[in-house]
Amino acid sequence: EMDNHMSDRDDSCYDHAEAAFSDDEEDVNSKGKKREFRFHPIKESVVDITPFLEQLDESLKDKILLLQKGSDTEAQCEAMQEIVDQVLEEDFDQEQLSVLASCLQELFKAHFRGEVLPEEITEESLEESVGKPLYLIFRNLCQMQEDNSGFSVLLDLLSELYQKQPKIGY
């Protein structure tokens, strides 16, 4: 005969402390000082891509550094187009795609925050919203024929980027 009594259960896995809620207005830390919870913006830190750069071919490394040092969006877009052009060259080592994607993901972290589309959609605001260096990959892809060998290379680069930053979509 089976004994199914609630009193037989193992009480060691149950916490007998009562649930307690903290005050919304204030919180006192362990030293008795009141802590204030206010919004503190996160400081943008300088992105260190050195470990990735060391794994890139010299010419690609130089282009990534140009992209990183680009003083404005136009300069960054020019550097990004040079990177895309190099990726599309026949002798490009596709083993570099993952490292390149890591560099781009780090450099463009700010692009993945907030909204892509502007609040007020005009032709100019739309163009500005996708005028960032990251979107050059998509622009090149859209202008290519699917049977172009570079098409799959750019898709591979986007796939690597997506694995590191799913917000990129594609």
Sequence ranges of the domains in the chain:
49-169
* pTM exceeds 0.75: no
Query: What is the SS3 assignment for 34?
Result: strand
CB atoms within 10 A of CB 130: 13
User: How would residue 129 be classed by pLDDT, with cut points 50, 70 and 90?
Assistant: confident
SS3 content of the chain, % helix, strand, coil (to 5): 55, 0, 45
Does the structure show a pLDDT above 70 at 50?
A: yes
Residue 104 one-letter amino acid: L
Buried b (16+ CB within 10 A) or exposed e, 28-52: eeeeeeeeeeeeeeeeeeeeebeeb
Instruction: For residues 97 and 88, give the distance between their C-alpha atoms in angstroms, rounded to a whole number.
Output: 11
Question: pLDDT of 8-23, one tens digit each?
Answer: 544 444 445 555 555 5
- 110 φ, ψ (degrees, to nearest 5): -65, -30
Instruction: Take residue 123 and report the two structure tokens written for it.
Output: 């032709």
Asked whether the beta carbons of 169 and 161 are under 8 A apart, the reply is no
Does the structure show a pLDDT above 50 at 72?
A: yes
Asked whether the beta carbons of 60 and 68 are under 8 A apart, the reply is no
Does the structure show a pLDDT above 50 at 31?
A: yes
- pLDDT, the chain, mean: 77
Question: pLDDT of 85-121, one tens digit each?
Answer: 999 998 889 889 999 999 999 888 877 776 666 778 8
DSSP secondary structure code for residue 35 in this structure: E
